[in-house]
Chains A and B, each alone.
Chain A
């Protein structure tokens, strides 16, 4: 199994976990929206961790022949405690989403 597959399954499982904690029955459309939220938030959090110089480097790579994987590897290596900061961000967005989905579950009753 490759890492992309790991991530895909992880995000799906994570979305289902959020739905479960929020008391919502499995709903593929809602789970998919939740997955998208998490992915977008991870992007934002990662970009926000950059120093201006690193942000500039990423920006330039996007203006040219964008190599997503190489850029990501470079970013991850440069950010101190990247893993832990991202884990915190992940837990943060989870808390938000559990609240949101719980609101949805309540409205559906």
Chain B
């Protein structure tokens, strides 16, 4: 017979292979599907690489050694894990809060998997690979391997539910204890009148301008820049917030502080004040506290609305809710504004102590545009970065009712507001 041209030969081989594949599919459809998935790397629980690694693990008498080596790369467990509980894929996409899951779940799962593997009796004769992938011996081996992996998955799954519960509990305890430490070290008596600022401002100031509690030095600095006048207005406002003590003439010092800020901020020459950026942050933080306190008062005692007795019950309720939502929205905007003010003030490589207040309008506008557009997303992103949402989901999934407990310990640790 004459030699077939090479193109025709390839075509014939392809046809033969297809026929062979079809025959196999008819004889053993499950195996054919398994092979197809293996070839395409789309097996649900593990890919081709992982199968090969598993095969090596089985061939090797010391499975634990090989599996330990797999931890560093994309090993078997990283492929099996997501199938087990659908949660191990989360840390891959969550770089910021990964430590929780790593510590609480992943490492423990890996260790347990090795233990389970070591305890599973394996009696598999591994064929010489790759002799021919449609050989029945190879198919049988794959079936056995599949059973083996399924057992591994089932055992890990059973253990995993218990482990997550236990580990999450441990993390919750650890988290609460650590939070208590942080609170006790950052909310100390740095400067009394800063107590009502957001925790972050307090932490920031404690580590920067007022570090070391050099209050005497701070006072000198206040006099030099003219901030002393402003600090008096801040103190009065804080006294009103904390003790409900008005000025001697009966006026509200919170409003006086807000008015002073309006006048200074709107004057290109800052009314002659030579404030530096730290002083400005303290100032705007105090103004924010004054505004927020006024807004919160509105939500607590909606006097005007309550006096409108002519309104029907439903109308009255709607008005009260609308006023509440409006005030809360304004408070949220105050928080974003303060964040803007803080960001605007700082430049690297310049001593923050001596740097004058930045009043460049174009710079402020740029930051404001980004904040207006992304503030909610950034705020949520900041929360994501803590890992708390993930942890709470894990806790609520595995420990019904723990979600509430998780945050309760903090409540008793927060310093009580002075009445």
Contacts and interface: CB of A to CB of B under 8 A. Distances in A.
Interface residues on A, range: 35 or more
Contact of B328 (A33, A42, A89, A92): A33
Nearest to A69: B381
Contacts of A85: 182, 186, 199-200, 203
Interface residues of B, number: 83
B198 A44 contact: yes
A90 B407 contact: yes
Interface string B174-191: 010011011100100000
A63 B360 CA distance: 13
B14 interface: no
Contacts, number: 262
B203 A33 contact: no
Contact of A66 (B347, B370, B381, B387): B370
Residue of A43, A56, A88, A92 with most chain B CB atoms under a 10 A cut-off: A43
B252 interface: no
Contacts of A66: 370, 374
B164 to A, nearest CB: 15
Contact of B97 (A1, A59, A83, A91): A83
Residue of A29, A33, A34 with most chain B CB atoms under a 10 A cut-off: A33
Given A13-B403, A85-B182, A91-B414, A42 B175 contact: no
Main DSSP-derived SS at the A contact region: helix
Interface in A65-90: 66, 68-69, 72-73, 75-77, 81-90
B259 interface: no
B346 A52 contact: yes
A37 B182 CA distance: 23
B275 interface: no
B388 A104 contact: no
A42 B383 contact: yes
Interface string B216-258: 0000000000000000000000000000000000000000000
Contacts of A30: 321, 324-325
Contacts of A58: 343
Given A52-B208, A81-B182, A92-B199, A2 B93 contact: yes
Nearest to A10: B389
B203 A84 contact: no
A48 B201 contact: yes
Contact of A72 (B345, B382, B392): B382
Residue of B186, B381, B403, B413 with most chain A CB atoms under a 10 A cut-off: B381
Contacts of A55: 342-343, 345-346
B39 interface: no
Contacts of B366: 62-63
Interface in B53-89: none
Contacts of A3: 90, 93-94, 97, 384, 389-390
Closest 6 CB pairs of A and B: A48-B200, A91-B410, A39-B379, A10-B389, A43-B379, A40-B332
Given A10-B389, A76-B96, A89-B198, 15 more contacts: A3-B384, A33-B324, A36-B329, A40-B332, A40-B376, A48-B201, A63-B363, A63-B367, A72-B96, A81-B178, A85-B182, A88-B413, A90-B388, A91-B179, A107-B302
